[in-house]
Amino acid sequence: MRIGLKKKKTTSGAASKLLAMAKKLSSKPTILFIFVSFMLFCAFLPVFAPLPSFSSHHSHRNTVNRKFEIANDRFWKDGEPFQIIGGDVHYFRVHPEYWEDRLLKAKALGLNTIQTYVPWNLHEPAPGKLVFEGFANIEAFLNLCHKHGLLVMIRPGPYICGEWDWGGFPGWFYSMNPTPKPRSSDPTYLQLVERWWGNLLPKFVPLLYENGGPIIMVQIENEYGSYGDDKEYLHHLITLARGHLGHDVILYTTDGGTRETLEKGTIRGDTIFSAVDFGTGEDPWPIFKLQKEFNAPGKSPPLSAEFYTGWLTHWGEKNAQTDADFTAAALEKILQKNGSAVLYMAHGGTNFGFYNGANTGVDEADYKPDLTSYDYDAPIRESGDVDNSKFNAIRRVIARYSSVPLPSIPSNNEKARYGPIHLQREAFVFDMFDFTNSTNVFKSETPMSMEYVGQLFGFVLYVTEYKAKRGGRILFIPKLHDRAQVFISCPSEESGARPTYIGTIERWLNNKVTLPDIKCHSKINLFILVENMGRVNYGSFIFDRKGILSSVYLDKEQVKGWKMFPIPLHNLNEMSTYNPITQVAYSAFSGISSFRKKLIYKNGNTSKEPAFYSGHFLIDKSSQVKDTFISFNNWGKGIVFVNDFNIGRYWPVK
């Protein structure tokens, strides 16, 4: 089933398919809720169940004769030499329903250790609001690792990078005055870190290996040598970690395998263990030799804490791929000489919600946001599938060096096709606001950032007015983060003054838009809908506020008198509460239709005006609930919610 629009050329990409996680459901409608920039086509819809409940209780045990340590340039577990053969699996990129599935597949790959980041912004989405349930139930994830005999290397930041929004830092930093300076000895920042780690690190104490748990190592910062050189800052983090975790657990840093990054990013000697990371194309042993210079004598077991099985992908790029046999052969070069390695990634997963990060090139305008997919060309695919050449090649290598026989390989999860779903437009975005008498509006002579108006993710609508000019006018925004759709309307027209789409401004193009000459008996309304495409997570340009960050110009004349309207679309792991922006999409199925009918502008099915669409379908039996995909072929750009769960962005034409 298709909704009429001319077919657009699409490019392939991991964002065109997102795996949906299925769980037991009743026979209630499943709702697909879509906020789009352009008109859409058909879809195959996934089903999400409520998150399972986990018990996070873990008794603190002072278990004797359990010890993980470093001596004679080897890792030792309970007095026996131990080779770390690990892999990254990020709990926040996998639906909790599938944590166990992914861990069992990691174990079947031959891994004995799981490494994971801890994103601060997921766990503290607002100042003082701590979340450790659902996707953020890290204790449950760690207990599952322990249940299946997997050790854990944990990376609590406070900075994680990880292609995650702002490297894990909370966006509300930007609403503070003064604004903290992350990754530094700035007192305001350190106070926030102390408060955050004061809530987080005590949760790890009963899970430390010497206390009977799975955690063998805890990372301090992440690749700091690629960013700064503040040893006082690193020492402060070490002291803070030791104060919460004690002196037995191994603390480590990870930096690129160069002298410069190691000099800046770690501390020589036995204060902390210095690990390295590098790609499959590099000779590991000269790097491990360099690593030894930064560790105390006998305290430098060769460890690649990030051995890259693939690579990240930005919007508009082809999916990153690395050869399976080449990757496996590079891993064997490490393992055959008793080196240790952690696969980055063993399983990539998905950047659900608005949490994808971004990178930059030569300057901050050279902006490259990451895909919703974080497949990473990892051996365990985004869907959880393991019947691929990379999984098999890596497993064959690990089997030759594993101290125990490898488990049998679990089968792929079953998938089902539920067919096309009719989508109904519920409301245009602009109909959600009373532009003349709104209480949810911020007013200022110049535009304000998204963070300043309390909208950390998603969209903000900027509204002003201007005088018409014969021949049209040129709109220019010197500093836009990140993508804006421009509309105009004439409020004096009898037609109802529907906003007309004029064009799109993108940060990476820094382009201008020509506003056409239209006849209007009053000033013309200017609407600029700005999308936060993900904060930069790596490099020198990570200070990345969102929205319109400069004055706006028409023909080099500054435009003043702005209204800012936040659009509160909830993010990953946020509990949905009533708000008129999203509630309209569900009103068609609740019997309350008068409000919806009032908002709908009936003008056929084609429009470039942003709108909300919804559709639903029924699954009669729990046995029919399977994994599935949403097809975004020939769609425009937008966000998908399924059963009130924010899957993330799609943009197949980019």
Tell me the C-alpha to C-alpha distance, in Å, between residue 524 and each of 330, 458, 466: 62, 26, 5
For the stretch 98-112, what's the b/e string if a residue is b when 16 or more beta carbons lie within 10 angstroms of its beta carbon? bbbbbbbbbbbbbbb
**Distance of alpha carbon 649 from alpha carbon 654, whole angstroms:** 12
Which H or E element spans position 594?
helix 594-599
- Report the helix count and the strand count for the chain, using DSSP H and E: 11, 32
User: One of 69, 163, 210, 223 is an active-site residue; which one?
Assistant: 223
Complete edge-to-edge strand list for the sheet that includes strand 513-515: 513-515, 473-476, 552-554, 557-559
* Continuous H helices in 254-323: 259-265, 284-292
Using the 8-state DSSP alphabet, how is residue 35 labeled? E
306 is catalytic: yes
Q: CA nearest 429: which of 460, 386, 472, 392? A: 460
Residue partners of 231: CB distance under 8 A and separation at least 6: 267
Strand partners, 627: 415
Strand partners, 276: 255, 304
263 is catalytic: no
Determine contact, residues 212/63, Cβ cutoff 8 Å: yes
Residue partners of 8: CB distance under 8 A and separation at least 6: 634, 636, 653
Using the 8-state DSSP alphabet, how is residue 448 labeled? -
Q: Which two tokens stand for residue 306?
A: 């990030």
Q: CA nearest 82: which of 272, 216, 211, 207? A: 216
User: One of 306, 332, 451, 574 is an active-site residue; which one?
Assistant: 306
* Continuous H helices in 229-387: 231-245, 259-265, 284-292, 324-335
Return the C-alpha torsion angle 489, 494, 498, 504, nearest 10.
-30
State the catalytic residues.
Answer: 223, 306
